[in-house]
Structure 1
Amino acid sequence: MDGPKSHPRYNVAVTILLLILAAVQVAQQAPTPVRGDRFQIAVPQGWRILNAGSDVILEHSSGASLLLLRAGLTGRLDDFAQRQAERVMTPLGFAKLSEPQHFKGTNEEWVQYEIRGNRLSEHRRILYRAFRRGSGLFELVYENNEDRFDQLLTEAQEIASSVQTILQTPAPRRRVRVQR
């Protein structure tokens, strides 16, 4: 005997319900575009925007933080990244800087360091990355508790990968009339 679950109307209704739930879930996961100074990033769900000016500061609901800013390169990328990573680790107690990791592709080049140290009584882990994309140079600082660092590392790297440089046209010149 056929039960109510094998009825064609039931199957159609379940299929429609599943499609609606899938559409709602996809809509909720769409990243939010956030504009910084001459760049734009995609911010996934769970991150709150604290500042979006010359730099972008994000905070995750779990307590992780991410800073993304446009930088001006003076010298080689390797030297710049090492100086900045040492600057980032300065306020941490018992801080240790990892060996640098390098990547160079056709449209991107980066140098990154992992930093471990203490902020008050918490063990912290930081990813510092200086990267060049097109003609722009950017810095990423992702910080989280040491035990939760890996949970959001991929998401932080995806945010960095979403950087798009925004070209700004110069402000139009005002003509000054000379009165005679």
Structure 2
Amino acid sequence: MTTPPPGSGQPTPPANPVQPPPGYSTPPAYPTQPGYPAQPGYPTQPGYPGAPVGYGPPATPRPTPQRSPLALTAVIAGAISTLVGSLVVLSYPVLLQGEYSYTLFTTVQWVSNTLIGLLGLVALATGVISLVRREPARALAGAGTALGAAAVFGILTGLLQGLIALF
């Protein structure tokens, strides 16, 4: 479609029907393809004065994620209980060698199981409290709760095994 010739009785469209806001310049006209009329310019978007044409307002900064001390305590206590349990199990071959192997083995087991049980209870309690309060970092609280529950379950299973062995 072409622009009607002057004097044909049809009104000619204005050169730029949309005016930019005060303080902003009119964007440059783009070259037209043969046989098509030129498109009117578009107003620039509001933003910083002097910003390049076509750029919008600056992005708002993202809020920093909030942390939960209880959730962090839960996951750290759960991870330490798991690490202590793994290191003790890996030390069994070394502990069982030597003259006082049984005494050393049982002492290390009692100390490590007490430490793992306490850390597991701390992880379980702080994780559950953080989840009930609906604090941020719910994934950390859930992970700490799971690690603490696994540690406590392992200790209770070991105690039950010892009781069964007595009978």
* Bucket of the pairwise TM-score, normalised by the shorter protein: under 0.3
Which structure's relative contact order is higher, taking Cα pairs within 8 Å and 6+ residues apart? 2
Larger % of helix: which? 2
Q: With structure 2 as the length reference, what TM-score do the two structures score?
A: 0.22
Of structures 1 and 2, the larger Rg is shown by 2
Larger % of strand: which? 1
